[in-house]
Amino acid sequence: MRTSPQEFRAVLGNYATGVAVVSCRDRMGRSAAMTINSFASLSLNPPLVLWSIDKECDQAPFFAEATHYAINILAEGQRALSVHFATPSQDKFCGIEHEAGLEDIPLLPGCCAILQCQIVDRYEAGDHVILIGEVLDMRRTDAKPLVVHAGQYCSLA
């Protein structure tokens, strides 16, 4: 049975997920970032994670040139950052506090966790590209995560 992309998206929205900002620096030294609501662990040994980007996304050319990325898992109080990085703009980090991570990747302070990764593979799948990264460095806090369900931000009980 075939469904429309809108119907498929609505069904997937029933799966509650955390919210993260994935960031990178391309080979020309330009920073890029975008809000994502899903990434997955892939392997414990070696530690691998994956996420995907729409080929038509304005940030796709940056990630196509990047060798590393960071997954900044947002904390409950970082909803404004989620909205900011989901909104198209020329300079995603203008006015946004951040620090330099491995390979000068922008990292966001106050997150629940940050995973810094080296890209080990890319796969085209439908209208997206899957980026697999080996985790080189990570940190976490006890902050509660920002969560989204059915397109709405919500809190853990």
77-103 pLDDT tens trace: 999 999 999 998 888 999 999 999 999
Residue 124 CB contacts under 8 Å (≥ 6 apart), including other chains: 55, 130
Q: Residue 1 pLDDT more than 70?
A: no
The pLDDT of 100-128, averaged and rounded, is: 96
Domain ranges (residues) in the chain: 18-146
pTM of the model: 0.92
43-83 pLDDT tens trace: 999 999 999 999 999 999 999 999 999 999 999 999 999 99
Show the CA angle centred on residue 40, arms to residues 37 and 41, nearest 5°: 150
Cα separation values, 147 from 8, 23, 61, 91, 151, Å: 20, 19, 28, 26, 10
Q: For the chain, state the CA radius of gyration.
A: 15
Class of 18-146 in CATH: mainly beta
At 17, is the pLDDT very low, low, confident or very high (cuts 50, 70, 90)?
confident
30-46 pLDDT tens trace: 999 999 988 999 999 99
Rounded Cα–Cα distance for residues 131 and 5 (Å) = 22
pLDDT of residue 6: 83
At 9, is the pLDDT very low, low, confident or very high (cuts 50, 70, 90)?
confident
- Of 111, 20, 116, 129, give the one whose Cα is nearest residue 67: 116
Locus of tokens 């970082």: 78
pLDDT of residue 136: 98
- Of 70, 55, 68, 81, give the one whose Cα is nearest residue 146: 81
Between 21 and 14, the higher pLDDT residue: 21
pLDDT of residue 2: 79
Tell me if 143 sits within 8 A of 110, measured CB to CB: yes
